[in-house]
Amino acid sequence: MLLPFLLALHAVVAALLPPLARVLGTRVFVVACLPPALTALWVLAHAPDVVAGQPVTSAVTWVPALDINLEFRVDALTLAMVLLVSGVGAVIFGYCARYFHTGERGLGRLSAVLVLFAGAMLGVVSTDNLFALYVFWELTSITSFLLIGHDDRKEHARRAALQSLVTTAGFGLPMLVGFILLGQIGGSFRISTLVADPPVGDPLLPVALVLVLAGAFAKSAQVPLHYWLPGAMIAPTPVSAYLHAAAMVKGGVYLVARLAPGFAEVDPWRALVLTFGMATMVVGGWRALRQDDLKLLLAYGTVSQLGFLTLLAGTGTQVAATATIGVLLAHGFFKSALFLTVGVIDHQTGTRSIAALSGIGRRMPVVAGAATLAAASMAGLPPLLGFVGKEAALEAYLPGGDPATALPSGAAAVVLVGVVLASVLTVGYSARFVWGAFSTKDTVAERRVPRPAAAFVAAPVSLAVLSLAAGVLPFAVDPVAQGYAAAFDTSGEPYHLALWHGLTPALGLSALVLVAGALLFHRRVTVARVQQALSRWPDADRGYHGVVHAIYVVALRVTRLLQSGSLPVYLGVILATLLALPGARLVMALASGDVAPPGAGGNELRFWNTPLEGVVALLIVVTAVATVREHRRFPALILVSAMGFGVAGLFVLYGAPDLALTLVLVETLTTIILVFVLRRLPATFGTRPDGWAKRLTVLLCAAAGTFIAVSLWLMTAARTDPPVSLGYTSLAREAGGDNLVNMILADFRALDTFGEVVVLATAAVAVTSLVLLRRSRVVEETDPGPDETEEERAGARTGEGERT
């Protein structure tokens, strides 16, 4: 099938757009239209097969060993989403050609990123592999970051872009963990396989689902993560229309709808989806009612609708699933039409504020008509698609409405009340939108504004007409809904999307909603007063800033705690970690008997290898302890040398003549060099006062040294395989040598020895250059900066905050 090529086409066209933009100006968006338009046509051509239950699939192998493949599968749900992503996308791209002015900054980048986003979104909704889904998902996060921050010279834009990225990508990470868990317990990373055969009953499944839902909720701006969506309204209006009406925010809804057939029955899926969806629905609607900026009004309206969609998509019954597709398409059409209308108004008048607009309806009757149509669809007025979807949604939660309902009647009633309440609010803000944008207000001075060009208005008008057409002809949309809803229990009579179901309770509720909503609009002054009184609600946006600030402060405090600048403290922390993790584990293993010390578990306990060893070992121990305690330089030097010769003596006893010889030579040289250096230095080391810090250091070092020696002892005792060097005997004979150590160094591992010689030579060159460099050329220490005082340097030298 063509889908991988269509995805590639998006990427290729995106790469070509920036240079083209220099030549074509805003007409570059017409070129940008091509990939989504072709995709929409392609998916429409396959629509009959897809709704008949024969998904179009294809696969490109990527990382087969990890079950990561670019598998694609276009079924009814994907069909609906592609219609939004590519179909509505193409219309919006065409609109961009009129919205932007030639010569505007960054048009090439904007068009390219928009097409990339369209491609990524197409990938999200069409892939059948969890990993590929995640990759496309994060690609949409990154491209939307670039799109929201399009006007990168505005600080607000950069902040809003960062906020949306931190929120959506930040919650994408737990989602990835959820995906991996899901794939591990389900035995496959193919989504269709997982949904068809969910690993129900696995104790980890609820964890995985919660993690996945967290990612979906952040993407679809569910309360309390909804704050980024209104913030993202800083983006150019067509971008908002595309990202925040048709495409990106639907990603979360899509994921919920995609997984619902398999997992809706698993606790706590329904509880989460219903709670968060309902809260989002009501909060979004309530806040939309009080916005003055038309775009923000739509943004909060979108939040509300996204809650509604999440609720529907996650409910997991046949009627709710049918309603999901209906509302999904309806929202995509009417919300992008409304956003584009705002774009037209903003473009012609230079403002989006309700308080500043008056008489626009008379100046732009066509735009006003289209927007009214779209707003009517949003409010759920017949005969528009919004009404059809809302009827289905009400039906889903009516007692006895859905014969296969899986909801307890109490929960269904609560949800029904919530849906009705949110619908009333929706009617209220829809009316407010139309009134605010187009009415003639006596209090506002009317301004003469230029009429928009016909081609500019074509996009919102065509989308509004689609809302009407799909509402009047619901049988065009119904097969798609049925195709998706077939995945659910259809034991009863399947519900169909239709304008007229007879005199049902749902129709009565619809009428009630319209009346109540109209009343809400009529009493808007009172409503505004109530909202004013209640506006001291906790603000999620402030919560976001609080969290980010807290992370910064904690990071600073941790840095302050750990980064003291003192080398002894750093090394001490490393040693303490060594003791705290592997050290504690070793003690636990010894205590529980998992590891038996030699002498206990049948292993012979040896004290020494030869009796003479005792004398030499004693010498080493005594000189080592004395070196540590010695504060005069020359005695310390003599003690270290004595210790070195002691070690050489051990090598003699251990049958290692080569080592002993080398060590004697090396110790002699080291001692000579030390004498040369120490000759120049003061006679004593700087000492520290005795105290608890010093005692602690001694204890720490003794414990670390003991831990290393004991673990080496236990490890060697636990050795089971013969040493590899056994084979060297015959090899040495073959090579004609008797001294095995020499054979290893000069023959078997000659390359290592060569490396060693290189190290020595490098050290020699470095030492020579360091020592022979004339004293006068010693570089003075860099001048302390203005903010660095003498005092501070002195403090650094004596090392406050030091523990030794």
Partner 1 sequence: MSAPGLLLVVAVAVLYSGGFYLLLQRSLMRVVLGIVMLGHAANLSLMLTDEAITLPPLLGGPQGEISDPLPQAMALTAIVITFGVTTFLLALAYRVWLGDNNDEVPDDLEDRRIGRLREPEDSS
One character per residue 748-767, x = contact with partner 1 (rule: CB under 8 A): -x--xx--x--xx-xxx-xx
| Range in contact with partner 1 (rule: CB under 8 A) among 201-209, 290-298, 402-410, 660-668 | 660-668
SS3 289: coil
Cβ–Cβ contacts within 10 Å for residue 568, how many? Answer: 15
Using the contact rule CB under 8 A, the part of the chain among 225-233, 417-425, 430-438, 646-654 near partner 1 is 646-654
Task: Return the residue of 104, 729, 750, 754 that touches partner 1, per CB under 8 A.
Answer: 729
- Specify the stretch interacting with partner 1 by CB under 8 A; choose among 41-49, 428-436, 476-484, 623-631: 623-631
b (16+ CB within 10 A) / e for 712-738: eebeebeeeeeeeeeebeeebeeeebe
Residues 6+ apart with CB under 8 A from 742: 658
Nearest CB to partner 1, comparing residues 493 and 781:
781
Minimum CB distance to partner 1 smaller for 556 or for 589: 556
Q: Does 187 bind partner 1 (CB under 8 A)?
A: no
Q: Which of 5, 537, 685, 754 binds partner 1 (CB under 8 A)?
A: 685
Stretch that binds partner 1, among 272-280, 431-439, 472-480, 683-691 (CB under 8 A): 683-691
* Residue from 720, 783, 786, 790 binding partner 1 (CB under 8 A): 720
Judged by CB under 8 A, the stretch of 75-83, 318-326, 430-438, 621-629 that binds partner 1 is 621-629
Q: ∠432-435-437 over CA atoms, to 5°?
A: 100
Question: Residue 400 or 786: which CB sits closer to partner 1?
Answer: 786
Look at residues 26, 74, 27 and name the one whose alpha carbon lies nearest to residue 53. 74
Burial state string for 221-244 with b = 16 or more CB within 10 A and e = fewer than 16: bbbbbbbbbbbbbbbbbbbbbbbb
* CB 795, min distance to partner 1, A: 8
For residue 400, state whether it binds partner 1 (rule: CB under 8 A): no
Nearest distance in Å: CB 788, partner 1 = 7
**534 part of the interface to partner 1, by CB under 8 A:** no
The nearer residue to partner 1, 54 or 610, going by C-beta atoms, is 610
- Shortest reach from residue 670's CB to partner 1, in Å: 6
Q: Does 725 bind partner 1 (CB under 8 A)?
A: yes
Contacting partner 1 within 730-749 (CB under 8 A): 732-733, 737-741, 743-745, 749
Show the CA angle centred on residue 305, arms to residues 523 and 272, nearest 5°: 115
Whether residue 450 is preceded by a cis peptide bond, meaning omega within 30 degrees of 0, is no
Q: Which stretch binds partner 1 (CB under 8 A): 427-435, 449-457, 509-517, 769-777?
A: 769-777
SS (H, E, C) 257-271: HHHHHHHCCCCCHHH
Map the footprint of partner 1 across residues 689-718, applying CB under 8 A.
697-698, 700-702, 704-706, 708-710, 712-713, 716-718
3-state secondary structure (DSSP) of residue 566: coil
Site string for partner 1, 418-457 (x = CB under 8 A): ----------------------------------------
11 vs 703, beta carbon nearer partner 1:
703
Of these, 584, 666, 735, 750, which contacts partner 1 (CB under 8 A)? Answer: 666
CB of 601 to partner 1, least distance (A): 10
Binding region for partner 1 (CB under 8 A) out of 14-22, 60-68, 257-265, 618-626 = 618-626
Q: Bridge-partner residues for 60, per DSSP?
A: 70
Give every CB contact of residue 672 below 8 A, 6+ residues apart in sequence.
Answer: none
Alpha helical stretches, state H, 235-292:
237-241, 250-263, 269-288
User: Which residues lie closer than 8 Å to 550 by C-beta, 6 or more apart?
Assistant: none
Question: Min. distance of Cβ 161 from partner 1 in angstroms?
Answer: 13
Q: Are 477 and 329 in contact (CB under 8 A)?
A: yes
Please check whether residue 249 is in contact with residue 235, taking contact to mean a CB–CB distance below 8 angstroms: no
Considering only residues 595 through 614, tell me which ones interact with partner 1, judged by CB under 8 A. Answer: 598-599, 603-610, 613-614
Q: Which of residues 542-601 bind partner 1 (CB under 8 A)?
A: 544-545, 548-549, 552-553, 556, 559-560, 563-568, 571-572, 575, 598-599
For partner 1, which stretch binds (CB under 8 A), given 342-350, 453-461, 498-506, 645-653?
Answer: 645-653
- Are 100 and 135 within 8 A, CB to CB? no
The stretch near partner 1 (CB under 8 A) out of 20-28, 332-340, 341-349, 794-802 is 794-802
Q: Does 789 bind partner 1 (CB under 8 A)?
A: no
Q: What are phi and psi of 62, to 5 degrees?
A: -125, -75
Interacting residues with partner 1 between 122 and 181 (CB under 8 A):
159, 163
Taking alpha carbons only, the member of 374, 238, 252 closest to residue 306 is 252
Among 192, 333, 633, 649, binds partner 1 (CB under 8 A): 633
From the list 271, 455, 530, 669, which residue makes contact with partner 1 (rule: CB under 8 A)?
Answer: 669
Provide the minimum distance between the beta carbon of 751 and partner 1 in the complex, in angstroms, as a whole number. 12
- Which residue is associated with the tokens 């990508």? 169
Return d(Cα 210, Cα 269) in angstroms, integer. Answer: 7
**Binding status of residue 206 toward partner 1 by CB under 8 A:** no
Binder of partner 1 out of 410, 751, 779, 790 (CB under 8 A): 779
For 182, 338, 344, 439, the CA distances from 364, given in Å and listed in that order, are: 53, 14, 10, 11
Minimum CB separation from partner 1 for residue 721, in Å? 9
Residues of span 14-33 touching partner 1 by CB under 8 A:
none
Minimum CB distance to partner 1 smaller for 112 or for 636: 636
The H or E element that residue 69 is part of is: strand 68-74
CA distances to 365, 586, 756 from 74, in Å: 40, 55, 62
d(CA 77, CA 151) in angstroms, rounded, equals: 34
- Check residue 724 for interaction with partner 1 (CB under 8 A): yes
Exactly one of 636, 638, 642, 649 binds partner 1 (CB under 8 A); which one? 636
- Least Å distance, CB 647 to partner 1, is 5
d(CA 639, CA 193): 73
Task: State the burial class of residue 550 (Cβ atoms within 10 Å of its Cβ: 0-12, 13-18, 19+).
Answer: exposed
Binding footprint of partner 1, residue count (CB under 8 A): 132
Contacts of 762 (CB under 8 A, 6+ apart): none
* Residue 140 neighbours by CB under 8 Å, 6+ apart: 117, 120, 121, 124, 247, 248, 251
Q: Give the separation between CA 148 and CA 239, rounded to whole angstroms.
A: 8
**To the nearest whole angstrom, how small is the minimum distance from the Cβ of residue 171 to partner 1?**
17
Kindly state the DSSP code that residue 794 receives in the 8-state scheme: H
